[in-house]
Amino acid sequence: MSRLVPYRAKVSEDVAARIQQTLSATMYLVQTTGPTSYVIQEQNCEKKHKVLIGSLQTCSCGTADICIHILFVMLKVLRVPATTPIVWQKSLIDSEIETLLRGGYREQSRPAPRPYMKKHKGEEAAASEPEETDVGRHELVDGEVCAICQEDMDDSQQLTFCRKGCGNNFHIECMKVFGESRRQSKENIICPLCRQDWGGEALSALRKEIDAANRAPNVHKGASCRKCKTKPIRCERYRCVQCKNVDLCARCFKSNAHSNHAFVVKQNVSHPWIPALRENQPRTAIDSDLIQDLQTRELSTNDYDVLLQLDNGDKHPVQDYLVKVVPGIKVDAVNTKTFGEYEATCSLCAQSLRIKAVLHSTLCGHVFHESCLARSILSQMYACPFLGCDQALLPGLLYLQKKHEKSKVPQLPKPKHDFSSAMPTLNASFTVMGLQQQRLDARSPRTMRLSMSNPRTAKRGLSQHSRREAD
């Protein structure tokens, strides 16, 4: 059969961008209705899209060109390398479809999903009967992928497994999405690989597993990945220190997302932030000229401290790492004598700026010794430390700090319907009734005796007394 759409030798810019988007996004294979028909659901989206692979590549999303759902099937389900021209073809011929389904284009470095192991002959008679005993979990192998999201799995992630048939592993969240999709279609929840029925309580059990997993110390509640939208972030949480609210998961950080800014990372919620270095960033804070000098001469005992610092290059003190990304002007120690006015002082230590020490001038115009600014950052002061200045030096960390402090402020109790019972007890002297009583007590003894003997006389006396006071 001839190709319905002309062959494209090169990938277009739009499709190339969608390929990168697909590789970093999370989607779910929720149903396979045939060898070339797939139902795909995006993360955090209930809408499903039907993808057909064949003589005309189509998707129910309505995109005119190759969409991210078709690319998900090609790149992650069928494991075709992104550089293979068949990925961006809008039409396939019969030989290409046959090779595709046979696995001929599959990336050799990635293993296929673990297949379901068939039962032995002695077990075939009982195959149609539901199993009463649960099977054990299979150990993960290197490079094993979840059959639903087609992403790698490892023991640090929140996983579940098929207890009724094959024992294969899946991400808990992926299995929940898969189960909800089948429940919406009025179908039983089954294993995506062995098709064994998980029972009527499977979805409730999965939700309980997720609730238990979300209480783990490495679950960062409320944090979502800016790129792939994963929420919550589990395990490593990468935080941009230069943007107000940008977090990345480990996968997106390692894919060089948001690569123009500096990040810090923490494994668990209670852990402190530490510097997050990318693969292309130097692992040491030692000047490159000094490293070259060490490589071109014989070493002596005087080089011990430098070598020790080089050996511990991955362990940047976080304050030294952060002070280097604070925006502003850095002045080397040799140039301090010509910087600023003669009597200028550090805004923190009040010492002269002319001493031989590195200076840092922030965007708000305040100048500090870099060591003073580093100590300020070490004490978790992420705004300008000059008194009265609130310029954000590290917006990402400052926003988190304010958010945390706001969450610790106790909330005032809501007023009850009976306002009289909720009113605090006041000194009677400061109430309206108390002030009136004080005025009555200030009357003369004669007026008091009249009020006790004759109420009418007392009333006239009180009126006359009031008029005299008014005059």
Number of domains in the chain: 4
- In this structure, the answer to whether residues 97 and 151 fall within a common structural domain is no
- In this structure, the answer to whether residues 401 and 323 fall within a common structural domain is yes
Is 92 contained in some domain?
A: yes
Task: Please state, in angstroms and rounded to a whole number, the distance separating the CA atoms of residues 279 and 227.
Answer: 19
Q: What is the pLDDT of residues 154-175, one digit of tens each?
A: 887 889 999 988 999 999 999 9
- In this structure, the answer to whether residues 167 and 250 fall within a common structural domain is no
In the predicted structure, residue 425 carries a pLDDT above the cut 50: no
Query: What pLDDT score was predicted for residue 44?
Result: 83
Is 200 contained in some domain?
A: yes
Is 310 contained in some domain?
A: no
Cβ-based neighbours of 314, under 8 Å, separated by 6 or more: 277, 283
Q: Mean pLDDT throughout 74-83?
A: 94
Mark which of 408, 432, 465 sits at the end of a domain. Answer: 408
- In this structure, the answer to whether residues 202 and 230 fall within a common structural domain is no
Task: Please state, in angstroms and rounded to a whole number, the distance separating the CA atoms of residues 38 and 73.
Answer: 8
Alpha carbon of 416 to those of 420, 423, 431: distances in Å? 9, 10, 22
In the predicted structure, residue 461 carries a pLDDT above the cut 70: no
Q: What is the pLDDT of residues 50-65, one digit of tens each?
A: 999 999 999 999 998 9
Is 283 contained in some domain?
A: no
Mark which of 67, 102, 137 sits at the end of a domain. Answer: 102
Secondary structure, 3-state, 168-187 = CEEEHHHHHHHHHHHHHCCC
| In contact, 369 and 358? CB cutoff 8 Å | yes
Structure confidence at residue 125 as a pLDDT band (50, 70, 90): very low
- In this structure, the answer to whether residues 257 and 205 fall within a common structural domain is no
- In this structure, the answer to whether residues 150 and 225 fall within a common structural domain is no
Is 443 contained in some domain?
A: no
- In this structure, the answer to whether residues 204 and 229 fall within a common structural domain is no
Is 335 contained in some domain?
A: yes
- In this structure, the answer to whether residues 261 and 197 fall within a common structural domain is no
Decide which of 317 and 145 is more confident. Answer: 145
Alpha carbon of 69 to those of 18, 38, 93, 230, 317: distances in Å? 10, 9, 20, 18, 44
Mark which of 372, 391, 408 sits at the end of a domain. Answer: 408
- In this structure, the answer to whether residues 82 and 67 fall within a common structural domain is yes
Is 239 contained in some domain?
A: no
Query: What pLDDT score was predicted for residue 118?
Result: 42
Closest to 251 in 3D by CA, of 262, 235, 264: 235
- In this structure, the answer to whether residues 149 and 193 fall within a common structural domain is yes
Q: Mean pLDDT throughout 359-388?
A: 89
Decide which of 430 and 341 is more confident. Answer: 341
Percent of the chain whose pLDDT exceeds 70: 73
Query: What pLDDT score was predicted for residue 133?
Result: 64
Is 119 contained in some domain?
A: no
- In this structure, the answer to whether residues 346 and 374 fall within a common structural domain is yes
**Strands 169-171 and 219-220, bridge-based pairing:** unpaired
Residue numbers of the domain that contains 225: 220-234+244-276
In the predicted structure, residue 427 carries a pLDDT above the cut 50: no
- In this structure, the answer to whether residues 208 and 271 fall within a common structural domain is no
Closest to 257 in 3D by CA, of 246, 265, 266: 246
